[in-house]
């Protein structure tokens, strides 16, 4: 494993509900963003998990007016 691959193991994984709470939106909206390919995720069995850093980077890329 490379250093970057090892670092990802230390990143917090969020479920849809936790990600939605951080953004102030519903978990259904999180699932919709995932379905449309607008939010990176990891699939573990039937469950999706979102790496917190990916969520932060996705938000940063969406910022307007800066």
Q: pLDDT tens for residues 47-63?
A: 999 999 999 999 888 88
Hey, which residues does 13 pair with through a beta bridge? 51
Q: Is the pLDDT of residue 15 over 90?
A: yes
pLDDT at 64 over 90: no
Instruction: State the Cα–Cα distance between residues 3 and 17, nearest whole angstrom.
Output: 29
Quick one: pLDDT at residue 3? 60
CA distance 56 to 10: 16
Q: What is the domain range of residue 17?
A: 3-62
pTM of this structure: 0.79
CA dihedral over 38, 41, 47, 52, signed as positive or negative: negative
Count up the domains in the chain and report the number: 1
Which CATH number covers residue 46? Answer: 1.10.10
């Amino acid at each position: 494993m490379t250093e970057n691959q090892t670092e990802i193991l230390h990143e917090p994984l969020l479920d849809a509900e936790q990600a939605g709470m951080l953004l102030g939106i519903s978990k259904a909206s999180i699932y919709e963003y995932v379905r449309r390919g607008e939010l990176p995720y990891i699939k573990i069995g039937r469950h999706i998990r979102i790496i917190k850093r990916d969520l932060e980077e996705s938000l940063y890329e969406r910022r307007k007016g800066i």
